[in-house]
């Protein structure tokens, strides 16, 4: 695309093309994401102590499917996505998962997968939906604590000829790194840039309930820390722009996306509440039942 634009500029200089046409072409160019995480809720069947998105400490909800799909559609008008990963919590807890799969399957996104912990028994109508949308793939987290459920889950997929793949986490060794818990001290500017530099999650841009953030943790950090304030360039409120009456809202979105995607080497306000440990930990160690009882959660 870049080479084409240079060629267009040369053609304008040589008088072979009109500047108006080239300007229009550049304005039409969509911004590209190689990878985008799409949260469909925060409801999860597990309570992983080191969940990098702090899901166990978040309200356990399924987002309104119609709203999140309209957000995605609006984003796609102005933004190309190469690889979309559907996440929850656990995506198969969503009551409208069929509608969501059917919708994303019809977009122009090349690669789509659902990241699942394989603990939810899939009903036949969900299996049928996966069968008729083979471009929506299943990615199974290979947790030790879900071995039995996972085997059952895979058997059901096998019986229905639905392919899947396993995921062994960032280091391919069943170990997790930690980005910190819910009581991290607020880092200063120098510390926070160091945290950001060390973070392995900084490529996980996430669309969660209408808001595009640098990584999904921003959504839960907002809930947990009262003093969190995102900077203008830290997030894009896709839904707010979508619902506005501004006739130029596509332009507004595009401008906001450009601001969001540049500065990718600078920390975001959400990173102040992280703490990256140099150690690795067994994946998906669960909170104790006593700890779970003490979580203030709001199930919907
Ligand atoms: S890491 Fe664990 S708690 Fe977090 S979303 Fe995945 S399965 Fe749920
Ligand atoms: S908030 Fe920042 S430091 Fe924390 S996980 Fe996300 S990108 Fe990494």
Question: Tell me: the pLDDT tens digits for 68-108?
Answer: 999 999 999 999 999 999 999 999 999 999 999 999 999 99
Residue 272 CA to residue 98 CA, distance in Å, equals: 37
User: Which residue's entry shows tokens 């590209």?
Assistant: 32
Please say whether the beta carbons of 117 and 144 come within 8 A. no
Q: 213 in ligand 2 pocket by Cβ < 6 Å? A: no
Residue 58 CA to residue 299 CA, distance in Å, equals: 10
CATH 3.20.20 fits 32-290, yes or no: yes
133: how many CB neighbours lie within 10 A of its CB? 17
280: how many CB neighbours lie within 10 A of its CB? 15
Sheet arrangement for strand 83-87: 164-167, 136-141, 111-116, 83-87, 36-39, 206-208, 211-213, 235-237
Question: Tell me: the pLDDT tens digits for 60-78?
Answer: 999 999 999 999 999 999 9
First-residue to last-residue Cα distance in the chain: 45
- CA atoms within a 13 Å half-sphere pointing along the CA-CB vector of 47: 16
Please say whether the beta carbons of 140 and 168 come within 8 A. no
Q: 55 in ligand 1 pocket by Cβ < 6 Å? A: yes
The ligand placed nearest to the CA atom of residue 139 is 1
Q: How far is the CA of 281 from the centre of ligand 1 (A)?
A: 15
Q: 91 in ligand 1 pocket by Cβ < 6 Å? A: no
Q: Coil, strand, or helix at residue 80?
A: strand
H or E stretch at 112: strand 111-116
Q: Which two tokens stand for residue 269?
A: 């306000």
Q: 202 in ligand 2 pocket by Cβ < 6 Å? A: yes
Q: What are phi and psi of 112, to 5 degrees?
A: -135, 130
Contacts of 151 (CB under 8 A, 6+ apart): none
Contacts of 29 (CB under 8 A, 6+ apart): 1, 5
Out of 54, 55, 195, 223, give the residue to mutate to test ligand 2, the one with the largest number of ligand atoms within 8 Å of its CB: 195
Residue 54 CA to residue 49 CA, distance in Å, equals: 8
pLDDT by 10s per residue, the chain, length 300 = 444 555 655 666 666 666 555 455 545 668 899 999 999 999 999 999 999 999 999 999 999 999 999 999 999 999 999 999 999 999 999 999 999 999 999 999 999 999 999 999 999 999 999 999 999 999 999 999 999 999 999 999 999 999 999 998 867 778 888 999 988 888 999 999 999 999 988 889 999 999 999 999 999 999 999 899 999 899 999 999 999 999 999 999 999 999 999 888 899 999 999 999 889 999 999 999 888 888 754 444
């Amino acid at each position: 695309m870049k080479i084409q634009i240079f060629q267009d500029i040369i053609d304008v200089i040589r008088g072979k093309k009109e500047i108006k046409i080239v300007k229009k072409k550049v304005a039409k160019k969509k911004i590209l994401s190689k990878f985008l995480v799409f949260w469909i809720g925060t409801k999860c069947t597990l309570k992983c102590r080191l969940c990098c998105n702090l899901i166990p400490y978040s309200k356990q909800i399924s987002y309104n499917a119609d709203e999140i799909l309209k957000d995605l559609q609006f984003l796609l008008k102005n933004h190309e996505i190469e690889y979309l990963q559907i996440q929850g919590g656990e995506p198969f807890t969503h009551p409208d998962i069929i509608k969501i799969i059917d919708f994303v399957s019809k977009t122009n996104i090349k690669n789509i997968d659902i990241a699942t912990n394989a603990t939810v028994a899939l009903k036949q109508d969900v299996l049928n939906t996966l069968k008729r949308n083979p471009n929506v793939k299943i990615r199974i987290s290979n947790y030790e604590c879900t071995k039995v459920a996972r085997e059952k889950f895979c058997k059901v997929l096998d019986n229905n000829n639905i392919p899947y793949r396993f995921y062994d986490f960032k280091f391919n060794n069943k170990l997790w790194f930690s980005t910190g818990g819910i009581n991290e001290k607020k880092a200063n500017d120098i510390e926070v840039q160091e945290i950001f530099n060390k973070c392995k999650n900084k490529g996980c841009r996430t669309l969660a309930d209408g808001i595009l953030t640098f990584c999904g943790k921003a959504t839960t950090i907002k809930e947990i820390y009262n003093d969190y304030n995102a900077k203008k360039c830290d997030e894009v409120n896709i839904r707010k722009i979508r619902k506005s009456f501004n006739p130029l809202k596509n332009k507004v979105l595009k401008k906001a996306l450009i601001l969001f995607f540049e500065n990718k080497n600078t920390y975001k306000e959400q990173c102040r509440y992280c703490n990256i440990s140099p150690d690795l930990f067994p994946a998906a160690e669960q909170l104790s039942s006593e700890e779970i009882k003490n979580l203030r959660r709001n199930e919907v």
